[in-house]
Amino acid sequence: MAREQFSKIAYKTLQQGKSIAGLAHKELSSRIMNFILPDNEISNFNLDKNLLIQIQNSMELLREEDWRDAERNIYPIKLLFDEPWLRYLTQYPKIWLDMPNIWNRRRKENYEDLPKSVDKDNYPRYYLRNFHHQTDGYLSDFSASIYDLQVEILFNGTADAMRRRIIKPIKEGLINFSDRKKSSINIIDVATGSGRTLKQLRGAFPNEKIKGIDLSGSYLKEASRYISDLDGDLIELIMGNAEELPFENDSIQAISCVYLFHELPRTIREKVLKEFFRVLEKNGTLVIADSIQISDSPEFIQIMEDFYKTFHEPFYCDYIKDDINSKIKEVGFNNVKSSSFFMTKVWSAIK
Ligand SMILES: C[S@@+](CC[C@H](N)C(=O)[O-])C[C@H]1O[C@@H](n2cnc3c(N)ncnc32)[C@H](O)[C@@H]1O
């Protein structure tokens, strides 16, 4: 018991430390930018005291939920302490060195600044841009090499705790297939990025077949490096489009999809939902995690507005108002549920 209490305190201290580091970085970088480029003034995320208290409370609830799920063995406690410090250490100077490029891109409203070598015919139009003013968009090894830490800073160190919210609904959904061998269960993570969600999934599902799909070869290479030393069966990485998944009808038992939907135009969101429905087997589970929305987190509307004003996120403004619950039902899913955890909303549904 004393050991558990000690681990819980250690976990919360680690999370608070990451939160302070993330806030300090954001404050310092926006001050420097506003000093160097005063005409480029961006939101300093000047949040009033009440909102700051709500943010703190919401983060605390997330940490509690994360700890409780680990205590209930939904995933191992060690996942909560699994921080790639060495990776962060190599990524952090690159983030600073890249910052002037990001400021410039923002100032010039240059959103299609992609590497010349990119064959544009291979990607959908909406994808060929610098989301978040990111250097090379999603289309270079450099971008992939700093993405994780950028997200970690954006969410004040809570990114993995929010990603882990997908695990409980997947576990609950997979009870529908509990008569099968675990090694015959297919879980796919769509728009897997640089592998953070895959690592959480492998921790919780050591024996199931896990596959990660993404449009970016560079992000998949980064994912491959990140997950290569994980225990359990090899995780397959596939370059592919969420709109046309490379799987047979009714062949998958669980799908996760983290932080993709806010970067898709509305019609594509609907297309992707249909595609999820097609590949899932009857009684299979869909779990989507993405940004909170206005309907259920109105207290954070200022943060949502600051986000799309500060970063290049052309589909976000529409996303935060989109009735995704209804769309999931419209394509044929049942038991549609949703809940929000700090800055992330999680939907689950059964085919
Ligand atoms: C915001 S990142 C999220 C990455 C990861 N899921 C995470 O939790 O950090 C969005 C990812 O979606 C991928 N992506 C965007 N559109 C896609 C599509 N149509 N099909 C597959 N992947 C896509 C991008 O390459 C990028 O890796």
pLDDT per residue as tens digits for the range 58-108: 999 999 999 999 999 999 999 999 888 888 888 888 998 998 898 888 888
Which of 122, 215, 262, 266 maximizes ligand 1 atoms within 8 Å of its Cβ, making it the mutation to test the pocket? 215
pLDDT of 204 > 60? The answer is yes
286 CB within 6 A, ligand 1: no
The b/e string for 9-48 (b: 16+ C-beta within 10 A; e otherwise) is: eebbeebbebbebbeebeeebbeebeeeeeeeebeebebe
pTM: 0.94
Half-sphere exposure of 330 (CA within 13 A, CB side): 11
Q: Please write the tens of the pLDDT for every residue from 243-276.
A: 999 999 999 999 999 999 999 999 999 999 999 9
For residue 181, count CB atoms less than 10 angstroms from its CB and return exposed for 0-12, middle for 13-18, buried for 19 or more.
exposed
Question: Cα(146) to centroid of ligand 1, in Å?
Answer: 15
In ligand 1, the atom with minimum distance to the C-alpha of 272 is: 19
Query: Which residue, chain included where needed, has tokens 């139009």?
Result: 125
Question: Cα(216) to centroid of ligand 1, in Å?
Answer: 8
What residues pair up with 288 in beta bridges, in sequence order?
A: 257, 347
State the CATH architecture for 160-297+316-350: 3-Layer(aba) Sandwich (3.40)
Question: Cα(325) to centroid of ligand 1, in Å?
Answer: 21
Mean pLDDT within 101-117: 89
Nearest 5 degrees, angle CA 46-CA 265-CA 213? 100
219 CB within 6 A, ligand 1: yes
pLDDT of 189 > 60? The answer is yes
pLDDT of 306 > 70? The answer is yes
The b/e string for 117-140 (b: 16+ C-beta within 10 A; e otherwise) is: eeeeeebeeebbbbbbbbbbbbbb
